[in-house]
A and B are shown apart, each in its own frame.
Chain A
Amino acid sequence: MSAATPLQHPGINLGPAHPETEGKSGELLFGFWVFLMSDAIIFGLLFATYAVMLHARAGGPGPARLYDIKSAFIETAALLSSSFTYGMASLALKYGRRPGPLLCWLLATMCLGGLFLRLEVQDFITMLHQGAGPGRSGYLSAFFALVPLHGLHVTSGIIWMLAIIGQIARYGVDREVKLGLLRLGLFWHFLDIVWVVIFSFIYLGGLA
């Protein structure tokens, strides 16, 4: 970021090397930040609901019996690494000349995201097998509203990534692709932050 061009929006700016995104990125990215604020309210309210219902177990199992810290830790590592690889993708977008590295980093991000989902679904299935589904207690309802919602967000992020890769195949890295990748980046890192809260508040907090 040279000192001459002011930031168009918070987060990584593509800068003067990508003149076609000038003037467009400011509004779009700002709008997406606002959307994330709104989405954050949804997660915030679900966190609050979880906190209120944590002890509403109706005689059912609690966190100590249900959470698998090893699995949750690997999920965390996968998701945090995927944020790193997405960061590399953003840098490849900003400074790279060919789409090759960009695509590689995006693929790596999707693989890590996929790994995260695979493990998370396994966790849920294990819980269901233990008879700890959402219908068992208020506490489990709150868990199954909050954590899978984050998983759904990750899923839609991966679909979005696939769509953008399709757009790159069709049009190359054009203005729409760049603007899409900038917004997807915000989304992906936002999901990471939400997960950090889920991991510390629900998993670590539940097992402490």
Chain B
Amino acid sequence: MTILHLLFGRLSVEALPFWEMLHYPSRQNVVNGAIATAAGAVVLGGAGLAVLLITRYRKWRVLWSDWLTSVDHKRIGIMYIVLAFVMLARGLIEANIMRGQMAFALDGGFLSADHFEQFFTTHGTIMIFFMAMPFLTGLINFVMPLQIGARDVAFPVMNSISLGLTAAGAALVMISLDIGKFSTGGWSGYPPYTESAFNPGVGVDYWIWAVSLSSLGSMMTGINFAVTIYKKRAPGMRFMRMPLFTWTALATSILMIFAMPALTVATGLLALDRYLGFHFFTDHFGGNFMNYVNLFWVFGHPEVYILILPAFGVYSEVFSTFSGKTLYGYTSLVLATMAIGVLSFTVWLHHFFTMGQSADINAVFGIATMLIGVPTGVKVYDWLWTMFRGRVRFTVPLVYGLAFSMLFVIGGLTGILLANPSIDYQVHNTQFLIAHFHNMLVPGTLFGLLAGYHMWFPKAFGFRLDERWGMFSALCFIFGFILAFFPLYGLGLLGYPRRTLDFFDPVYLPYMVAAFAGALVILAGLAGLVVQLLVSILHKEELAVPAGDPWDGRSLEWGLPAPPPEYNFSMLPEVSSRDAFTRAKEEGTAYRAPAQFHDIEMPKNSAMGMIVCVGGFLAAFGLVWYIWWLVVAASLAMAAAMVGWGFTRHTERIIPAHEVELAHLRWLAVVAVTQPVSRGEEASPSNAGLAVLETGE
């Protein structure tokens, strides 16, 4: 054991992405090494550029005290979504490289098998754990407390710690581009392939710790959201008066609380196998990998609904708001949401119909799976009826919603096909499956989250997003999706397996080329989002909506200034019905000053989130590379910080009543001089966030 080994574990210069290419310069090594090196350079360059810009504009203090240590749910939500967009960019670029490989894969292609495997592993891991999860967590963080009339979540510091854990996991996935390699075992990491006997390198360890950190963060997020919704609703905000987005947030949090531990157990036991020589999934000495498969999908299937339910919530708000109508079938939507939540725990076995159960068991799980289609179908009808005879405006969120309502039904139907075990036997592990779950998660989750981003962006930043670029981007995403994934149904039926590097039968080629074209169109959609953000920032004066209600909104958050003050509500609202803000506008009680202002107690900033983020990252990095002193040091530092945190007192500060009053009156003055706009002028510069009262449904 040399001193280098003690200091750096198994980390050496060979971990650099260009090492192999320099030492074994075959054509394939050079191509793959160049791609890996470029990716590593982008990560380092991006981080370096960020550091440079922050230093250049002297923003470190602002970044630290207004953002990183902030426990304000709105800022934490925004940081989550920023993280999600960064990871979305990486995930989409990886998707394009994979589709590029497939388009040229007749008799070869340019990627090595190992590199291709890393691509589909990181793509899946990132899109699930570091794009969709942070995105929906961020959206719920921002919107839900505002919708229920709360000043913050129940545990603001824990909220910051959750973000820290998720960010640490994401950083681990990113650093694997520069140092070492990521797992080649797919996003589900099935043993025995991921056991150390077959996979002794660092890749699987990167995957284990990245996923474990984020699952811990998500479990805490679930607790936080659920307690917030149960305990912190404004007076009169009964359960059946909550906006539907809040309902879906509740269902998702409950799923997080119960499903995340299963993932923690699965990855934890796999880590015990790899690090300490346990025999859970090794397939000898009594190990049995089917245990892993069950544990993973006991988490994995509820996870699918963790991802989709908040999007259902967004669509409910979108269809109702942009149709100018109260939500059709509110009660049935609530019941359907909760029914899906319960059923989601009863279907996990359909992920492995072909792995050796009896036909009877498969039948039970197949029927349970088809049952989930029922409440989901109810929802789609409710959304359609919400638009019926409404004042429908084809804004970006509604366009996403319309695309969703058609594409999601198609994806759902292919799901019903797959739920039939005998059909599943024919198409499992083919591109048909890939098409199916992208068909659910792209129009479902991703479009929903993007619709939510467009809808609530003005609330968060005080100005709307450019509508034209938004539409360009939406159409790219929608038609790019169709072009990229519908061919995969055909490929699957032709028997093309998933995760397969190349092929020798030219019959697959046209489908592959079409799918690549679709992926490029989707990438254009992402570029559209970037341009849209830049254009909107340039024109933020004419897009400004300081009065706070650009879409004639219906729930409480739209009755606040944009952006809302730190404490959200000058006085906690009294709620007497659904669509509380619409009701207030109709009764003329919106935009009033409360009779008396009070001091407001808000939590102080806390560095705990950042300590856990950095400590968690370092501990995990040490575990990956066997740098044991780093693991011990980082763990002790985190434990000490936890104990020290218990010794802090006076964690609240008071915002004096006169400050609240001043801010409130200033906003009312803005509202007073704002010209109300009708829904026809919604997208025009004259929309400054005050809606003309348009009566009738």
Q: Which residues of A contact B (CB under 8 A)?
A: 26-27, 30-31, 34-35, 37-39, 41-42, 45-46, 49, 52-53, 56-58, 60, 134-139, 141-142, 144-145, 159, 163-164, 166-167, 170-171, 174, 176, 180
Contact = CB atoms under 8 A, between A and B. Distances in A.
B280 interface: yes
A139 B286 contact: yes
A144 B279 CA distance: 11
Interface of B: 154-155, 219, 222-224, 226-227, 230-232, 257-258, 260-262, 264-265, 268-269, 272-273, 276-280, 284-288, 291, 295, 298, 639, 643, 646-647, 649
Given A137-B285, A145-B278, A176 B646 contact: yes
B265 A46 contact: yes
Contacts of B232: 27
A38 B219 contact: yes
Given A31-B155, A35-B223, A159 B291 contact: no
A53 B286 CA distance: 7
B280 A41 contact: no
Nearest to A39: B261
CB-based closest 3 A-B pairs = A138-B286, A56-B286, A135-B277
A75 B273 CA distance: 28
B227 A171 contact: no
A38 B276 contact: no
Which secondary structure dominates chain B's binding surface? helix
Given A39-B261, A135-B276, A144-B278, A34 B223 contact: yes
A26 B231 contact: yes
B223 A164 contact: no
Given A31-B154, A45-B261, A170 B277 contact: no
B277 A134 contact: yes
Given A26-B231, A45-B262, A56-B288, A166 B647 contact: yes
Contacts of B287: 56, 138, 141
B643 A159 contact: yes
A27 B288 contact: no
Contacts of A58: 279, 284-286
Contact of B646 (A35, A53, A138, A180): A180
16 contacts: A27-B154, A27-B227, A27-B231, A38-B219, A41-B262, A45-B265, A134-B276, A134-B278, A137-B279, A137-B286, A138-B279, A138-B287, A145-B269, A145-B272, A145-B278, A159-B639
Nearest to B277: A135
A37, A60, A166 pick with most chain B CB within 10 angstroms: A37
B291 A49 contact: yes
A186 to B, nearest CB: 14
A160 to B, nearest CB: 8
B232 to A, nearest CB: 7
Most buried by A among B231, B261, B286, B643: B286
A39 to B, nearest CB: 7
Nearest to A138: B286
Contacts of A135: 276-279, 285
Contacts of B258: 37-38, 41
Given A138-B285, A145-B280, A163-B646, 16 more contacts: A31-B224, A35-B223, A37-B257, A38-B223, A38-B258, A38-B260, A42-B264, A45-B265, A57-B286, A134-B278, A134-B279, A135-B285, A137-B279, A141-B287, A144-B278, A163-B647
Contacts of B278: 134-135, 141, 144-145
Contacts of A52: 288, 291
A141 B291 contact: no
A148 to B, nearest CB: 11
A164 B646 contact: yes
- Greatest chain B CB density within 10 A among A31, A163, A174 is at A31
A49 B269 contact: yes
Contacts of A42: 261, 264-265
A134 B272 contact: yes
A83 to B, nearest CB: 22
A34 B639 CA distance: 22
Contacts of B285: 58, 135-138
Nearest to B283: A138
Contacts of B649: 171, 174, 176
B647 A138 contact: no
Contacts of B222: 38
A145 B272 CA distance: 8
A58 to B, nearest CB: 4
B191 to A, nearest CB: 12
A141 B272 contact: yes
A169 B423 CA distance: 68
B279 to A, nearest CB: 5
B280 A138 contact: yes
A180 B231 CA distance: 19
Contacts of A159: 639, 643
A53 B294 CA distance: 14
Contact of A53 (B273, B291, B647): B291
Given A30-B231, A41-B258, A42-B264, A163 B286 contact: no
User: Which has the most chain A C-beta neighbours within 10 Å: B222, B264, B285?
Assistant: B285
Contacts of A137: 279, 285-286
Contacts of B264: 42
B288 A53 contact: yes
A159 B640 CA distance: 11
B546 to A, nearest CB: 33
A2 B273 CA distance: 53
